[in-house]
Amino acid sequence: MNAIIASTSTIHGSGYLEYLKPVLKEHFKYAKSILFIPYARPSGLTHDEYTAKAKEGLSFLKAEVKGIHTFEDPMQAIKSAEAIFVGGGNTFLLVKTLHDLKLMQVLREVILKSTPYLGTSAGSNICGPNMQTTNDMPIVLPASFETLGVIPFNINAHYIEEDPNSRHKGESRRTRIKEFQNLNRINVLGLKEGSWLEARGDKITLKGDLDAVWFEPLENPKVLKPETILEC
């Protein structure tokens, strides 16, 4: 595997993908073209508009960025891609579209064959066994919640701790993840905005300057420091 799995595309006070620039220069250095998958498209954007945004965000690279929606055969586009970027937005919409177009399996295969992959937010949520630790609203019903499973645990992107002064009674992120684990025996990584995973071969390393939070069923959550190796 050769993947960058990022909590968010954008951190506060910085442009789209800007904080990842040095990482992506290295990650995509051999790619002449990058296949962009805009299916999670955020509010209001068309596939074209979202692809234009990705193009601009990656304009510091020499690679050409092409939207998968411009290919007649999206499955073939994935199979022959030199590199792949799955952008954020709504995870339900992304997963539904990948299942409807029968692309989940082929995407899994090329990632496991080490096609350089970048996922941000929803594009990172799909790397685990299922999408059931997303924060997104269920705006569509996917055929299945199963996702790529190229990493052996689920991601909770945009992870944030509850403000201890909050008067809000909605569940905290920790509570939600523990609820998930009452019913699913799957480990979960809470990945804060500004953190990413680097997956090279079988080694998955926590990157960025921030701690992450590791949840195992029936265990108390553990704080992980940057450079922690999650699988090897």
- Residues in contact with its own copies by CB under 8 A are 8, 10-13, 42-44, 90, 92-93, 131-141, 144-145, 158, 160, 167-171, 175-180, 182-184, 193
Q: Is 141 or 232 the residue whose CB approaches its own copies more closely? A: 141
Active site residue 121: yes
Helices (H), ranges, the chain: 21-27, 47-57, 74-79, 91-100, 104-112, 122-125, 173-183
Active site residue 73: no
Taking the complex as a whole, how short is the minimal distance between the CB of residue 225 and its own copies, in angstroms?
22
Closest CA to 23 of 12, 11, 13: 11
Q: Is 57 or 116 the residue whose CB approaches its own copies more closely? A: 57
Q: Is 160 or 223 the residue whose CB approaches its own copies more closely? A: 160
Active site residue 211: no
By the 8 A CB rule, do 87 and 32 touch?
no
Taking the complex as a whole, how short is the minimal distance between the CB of residue 178 and its own copies, in angstroms?
6
Q: Is 27 or 178 the residue whose CB approaches its own copies more closely? A: 178
Closest CA to 130 of 115, 113, 152: 152
Taking the complex as a whole, how short is the minimal distance between the CB of residue 4 and its own copies, in angstroms?
17
Of 7, 69, 124, 158, the active-site residue reads 158
Q: Is 115 or 132 the residue whose CB approaches its own copies more closely? A: 132
Which two tokens mark 76? 């073939």
In the chain the first and final C-alpha atoms are separated, in Å, by 12
Determine the Cα–Cα distance for residues 53 and 50; give it in Å rounded to an integer.
5
Of 9, 69, 136, 195, the active-site residue reads 136
CA 155, 48, 22: angle at the middle one, nearest 5? 50
Taking the complex as a whole, how short is the minimal distance between the CB of residue 177 and its own copies, in angstroms?
7
Q: CB-based contacts of 20: which residues, under 8 Å, 6+ apart? A: 4, 6, 196
Taking the complex as a whole, how short is the minimal distance between the CB of residue 121 and its own copies, in angstroms?
8
Of 121, 124, 195, 211, the active-site residue reads 121
Instruction: Report which residue type is found at 205.
Output: T
Catalytic residues: 121, 136, 158
